[in-house]
Structures are given as structure tokens and as C-alpha cells.
A = this chain, B = another copy of it.
Amino acid sequence: MVAVMCRSFIVAAALALSGAPLPGHAQETDPLPSWNDGTVKANIIDFVTRVTTEGSSDYVPEQDRIATFDNDGTLWVEKPLYTQFVFVVDRVKAVSNEHPEWKTKEPFKSALDGNTEKLLTYGEQGAMVLITATHTGMTTVEFNEIVSQWLKTARHPRFDRPYTDLTYKPMIELLDYLRANGFRTFIVSGGGIAFMRAYTEQSYGIFPWQVVGSSGKTEFRMWDSSPTLVKLPDLLFFDDGPGKAEGINHYVGRQPIFAFGNSIGDKEMLEWTANCKGVCFMGLVHHDDAQREYAYGPDSDVGRFPVALMEQAMASGWNVVSMKNDWNVIFSWGKPEAASPAE
């Protein structure tokens, strides 16, 4: 692993002062206008320039330019709750008429009562019960339609906008910049693969076959005389922590040279990426902007970013993005008046 750090910032600064164009794929305009000038932005541009400059010892052929991104908290908002979790609760409410027993049965009762605090006490096991009840027993086409419809109407409690508006503009620019430089961009998330695939193409320009996530089993079955796929209540793959490296191997089949996350669940993906032969880039988004988005980290229920991970990032030369300092805008829809900042 070759860390691309301060040196690159100095190179970029020197080039800027000299008026010389950036080497390699010269950028006539700033490819990352939502990023403030600083170490991380300079490191990104330096890294991309190195691996795309033919003849350079750091050159990487296009088919090996694999970039993987976590989703929740890295590409879009994950506070106060993971979007998929909000969907699950809304879905429990939407179909509760068919399940009168849920009124008294946990964790359904807490979901119906909107008692998020109590709901979270049921942990992963409780979440799995709700996911199984709301994500299975229908065809894959029906589920996609349910998610698509929900995304059209659901609103984030603080920003009062559709969740698909809450993608980070600087990261969308980064995805575009990488793809313009021959990278393939993949999402690698602990979230459900079928849930994500309902919007990743429109929101990120990432096709379904470049989405890696947790998934349940499906079964090929004749349904109303038509061949179709039915979603079953059995877990096939859990794509978090070590599962992210395993998931990339299963789905992508190639080690990334560029990876971005924001929490402890991304640690192994970053470690695996860092174990590269040539140059590689590891990044973590740090949520330190309560005014424009949220500020959270070590003690958060969602997107936990423990002190040990920050220390590992610093020691390893990984790039930690300060949302507050590195991004001049957070969302594509501009700079709204901040509502009540959480945490």
C-alpha cells in the first residue's frame, strides 16, 4: 500500500501556483466543485491522475479501476434512522390491517406505535423479524414497485424532502469523476440489495449489477401461470463488516483500488483495499456538521465511527473527510436553512 497523502497536496499546490495544467487527464474545469481545496480533494485528484497516466509506474488499466462505496452515511443521509428502516416501519403500518395480531406483538407493536426508541432495543434480531415480514412473500417485481412508490411519497423528518434528494452532492461528483476516468463504481452496503436497486440507477448512475448488498433467497416459481421470482424469508448473504470484503469478492470478483465508507462496518473493506499491489485510496466520511447535516460518531446507533477506527485511519494514511470543512455544499438542492440540528 502506498499512501497518497500530504505529498500530493504539495504537488497540487505547486502545480496550481505554477499555472501548469494537472498531469494526465487534464481537467479544464474543477471536477469536484463541491469539495473545498484541501488534503482530501488534492489526494483524490492526485490518485486519479496517477492511475490514469499511461507510462506512469502507478498506471492501472481500466478493467482494474474498481471503486467501491458504502451507501448509508457515505452517499446519502442515514440519520436519524437508516432509510430502509424507516421504510420497514412504514410498511408494517401499511399492511397492519392484514395482521391484527401485530397490535400486541413485539416488535410490531413498537413499530405501529412509532416508538423508535423501544424498537431499537430489539436490535438486529428485531429488525430481521420486521424485514422478513415486509420484504418477503411477494415477487421481486412487486417488491421493487412497493419501494419505488414509497420513495415517491416518504419525506425525511428533518429536511422534509424525499430520501432520494438526500444524496451528498460532493460524492455524486466523485462518482462521476471516477467514471469519467475509466473507473467502475460499485455500491457495497449492509442494506438490502433489492431495496437499493430500486433507486441507485437514478440517484447515483449505478446499475443494479454494480450494487452489492445484503440479500434474502428467492425462488423461481410459476405465479399466475407466469415464471417469476418470489422473495423468501431466508437470508442468503449479510454484507457488512468482513462481509463487505466477502461480498465484493462474490459479486465483483476483483479487489478495489478505491474505497469509501463512513463507519465501523466499512473497516474490512478498507483494509482489504489497502492491501493493494500499487497505489490505492481509502476514504472515510466523518459526520461533523450538525448545522448542515448531523454530527455523530463513536456513540451513534447508526453509522458508528469508533475512536479506534479514527486512530487506524490516521495511522494508515486513510483519507478522513470532514463534512464541515471539506464540503462546501452537502445536498444537490443547495444550502437550505438548517432545521433543528440533531446530536
- Please measure, in the bound complex, the distance between the C-alpha atom of A249 and the C-alpha atom of B226, giving whole angstroms: 16
Q: Contact: A209 with B210, CB < 8 Å?
A: yes
CB distance from A270 to the nearest CB of B (A): 9
Residue of B nearest to A253 (CB): B208
A227 surroundings in chain B (CB, below 8 A): 245, 268, 271-272, 274-275
**Known interface pairs A227-B245, A271-B227. Does A218 touch B250 (Cβ–Cβ under 8 Å)?**
yes
Q: Is there a chain B Cβ closer than 8 Å to A201's Cβ?
A: yes
Residue from B211, B229, B245 in contact with A246 in the complex, judged by beta carbons closer than 8 Å: B229
A207 surroundings in chain B (CB, below 8 A): 63, 253-254
* 194-228 of chain A: CB within 8 A of chain B: 194, 197, 201, 207-211, 215, 217-220, 226-228
**Known interface pairs A209-B184, A209-B253, A268-B227. Does A219 touch B201 (Cβ–Cβ under 8 Å)?**
no
**Known interface pairs A236-B250, A249-B229. Does A219 touch B242 (Cβ–Cβ under 8 Å)?**
yes
Q: Contact: A249 with B184, CB < 8 Å?
A: no
Tally of contact residues, A, Cβ under 8 A: 39
A246 surroundings in chain B (CB, below 8 A): 217-220, 229
Q: Contact: A250 with B209, CB < 8 Å?
A: no
CB distance from A250 to the nearest CB of B (A): 6
CB distance from A281 to the nearest CB of B (A): 16
- Please measure, in the bound complex, the distance between the C-alpha atom of A201 and the C-alpha atom of B61, giving whole angstroms: 13
Q: Contact: B209 with A251, CB < 8 Å?
A: yes
Residue from B237, B243, B252, B272 in contact with A208 in the complex, judged by beta carbons closer than 8 Å: B252
CB distance from A114 to the nearest CB of B (A): 32
Q: Contact: B272 with A245, CB < 8 Å?
A: no
CB distance from A251 to the nearest CB of B (A): 6
- 6 A-B pairs with CB atoms under 8 Å apart are A186-B209, A218-B249, A219-B242, A220-B268, A229-B272, A251-B251
**Interface residues, chain A, CB within 8 Å of chain B?**
63, 140, 184, 186, 193-194, 197, 201, 207-211, 215, 217-220, 226-229, 236-237, 242-243, 245-246, 249-254, 268, 271-272, 274-275
Given contacts A197-B253, A220-B272, A236-B250, 8 further A-B contacts (CB under 8 A): A63-B201, A63-B207, A215-B250, A218-B250, A220-B243, A220-B246, A227-B271, A236-B237
